[in-house]
Amino acid sequence: MRGEGVAMQGKDRGRGSGSLVSRVGESLRQAILSGQYAAGDKLPSEHELTETHSVSRTVVREAVAALRSDGLVEVRQGAGIFVISPDPALSGRKVDKARVASDLEVLEIRTPVEIEAAGLAALRRSPAQEEAIFECHRKILHCIETDQSIREADLELHVAIAEATNNPLFKHFLESQGSAIIPQSRLVPETRTAEQTAYRKLIHREHEAIIVAISDRDDQAARNAMREHLVGSQARYRNLLKDLRSFTS
């Protein structure tokens, strides 16, 4: 199994193609971002990853090292690789209160970045990027109508907006933040579809305001709409926390 990474000459750049490490890393990153592994979950062992991806442990370890440095996973010798869990209820409650807010921490730093991204996107978007944003928006609507999770599509939309800034750092920033980007996804059970649908439609409307502003090249309106959306997310998340506390404690 020596010359495994031989083929692939043509610059397939764009995803994780340049090296095996990039490919495995992107694969794991997507698996985490898409919610395949929730916060606190244990990833397959290095040995298993070695087999499922048909690469050596070296490659797996380097890929994991990258995730670790991005704060996406936490590796414990002898135990395994775990998706970072800001929620103390899931990961041993040693850090009792200082870490409770970590989902909010992510939201806190995301807010200024995404507001700026929306403003810049309004000023700089190309027609293709505008179309990509609308496409994501439609996708979310489709998910709502077919009653699927909007988690992935929601993330895609935000990434699409970041991409429309034409400053690659914005996209990179979002992708580094991990599963906490769409925080509520790992808290809400899949129940209460009526309430759930209303909630999703509200998000959809907030998105719409952002997108229309970007389409109109109105950067101030885009900033305001994005601010409202994120502040709304923050409020919704705080309410969720409150509900959870009244259940558990």
58 binds its own copies, rule: CB under 8 A: yes
Closest approach of DNA to the CB of residue 197, in Å: 38
Q: If contact means CB under 5 to 8 A according to the sort of partner, which of DNA, its own copies, none does residue 45 touch?
A: DNA
| Contact window for DNA (CB under 7 A) among 72-80, 189-197, 201-209, 241-249 | 72-80
Binding mask 2-41 for DNA (x = CB under 7 A): xxxxx--x---------xxx--------------------
**In whole angstroms, what is the distance from residue 62 CA to residue 225 CA?**
40
Nearest to 50 by CA among 33, 64, 36: 64
Closest approach of DNA to the CB of residue 116, in Å: 33
Spatial contact of 48 and 93, defined as CB atoms under 8 Å apart: no
Of residues 11 and 97, the one with the C-beta less far from DNA: 11
Helices and strands, counts by H and E, the chain: 9, 2
Nearest to 116 by CA among 165, 48, 75: 165
Q: If contact means CB under 5 to 8 A according to the sort of partner, which of its own copies, DNA, none does residue 43 touch?
A: DNA
User: How many positions of this chain bind its own copies (CB under 8 A)?
Assistant: 30
Q: Which of residues 199-218 bind its own copies (CB under 8 A)?
A: none
**In whole angstroms, what is the distance from residue 25 CA to residue 201 CA?**
34
126 binds its own copies, rule: CB under 8 A: no
Closest approach of DNA to the CB of residue 189, in Å: 25
Please name the amino acid found at residue 5. Answer: G
Q: H or E stretch including 3?
A: none
Task: Show contacts of 52-57: CB within 8 Å, 24+ apart.
Answer: 53/20, 53/23, 53/24, 53/27, 54/1, 54/4, 55/4, 55/20, 55/24
**In whole angstroms, what is the distance from residue 118 CA to residue 215 CA?**
11
- Site residues (CB under 8 A) for its own copies? 21, 25, 58, 61-63, 65-71, 105-106, 108-109, 111-113, 115-116, 120, 167-170, 172-173, 176
Q: Please report, as ranges, the residues that interact with DNA according to CB under 7 A.
A: 1-6, 9, 19-21, 43, 45-47, 54-59, 61-62, 64, 75-81
